[in-house]
Amino acid sequence: MTEGTKRRIEAHRADFLAYAVRCPFDGTVVGPRFVTREHADVPPDPPYAATVRCPKDRELFEVVFRR
Ligand SMILES: [Zn+2]
């Protein structure tokens, strides 16, 4: 992840699951439907992050779930 801060955002997992998280590029609401990859390699509460593709501008970014 060296493409800039917009490529990694933080959110509460509950907000993400409820489609209350927005794409950092254009503000489009994103959620589980747009996940391309989940990162589950850190215990105890996987997934701790997910890679998401915005359905509108097709930007790829990572959502890191706050604890
Ligand atoms: Zn977007």
- CA distances in angstroms from 49 to 41, 52, 62, listed in the order given: 9, 10, 7
User: Tell me, what DSSP letter sits at residue 43?
Assistant: S
The pLDDT confidence band at residue 1, using thresholds 50, 70 and 90, is very low
pTM: predicted TM-score of the whole model, two decimal places:
0.81
- How do 29-30 and 21-22 pair as beta strands? antiparallel
Ligand 1 centroid – CA 61 distance (Å): 9
pLDDT greater than 70 at residue 2: no
Ligand 1 centroid – CA 40 distance (Å): 24
pLDDT in tens, 19-57: 999 999 999 999 999 999 888 665 566 678 899 999 999
| Residue of 29, 31, 36 lying closest to 60 (CA atoms) | 36
Ligand 1 centroid – CA 29 distance (Å): 8
Joined tokens for residue 20: 């209350």
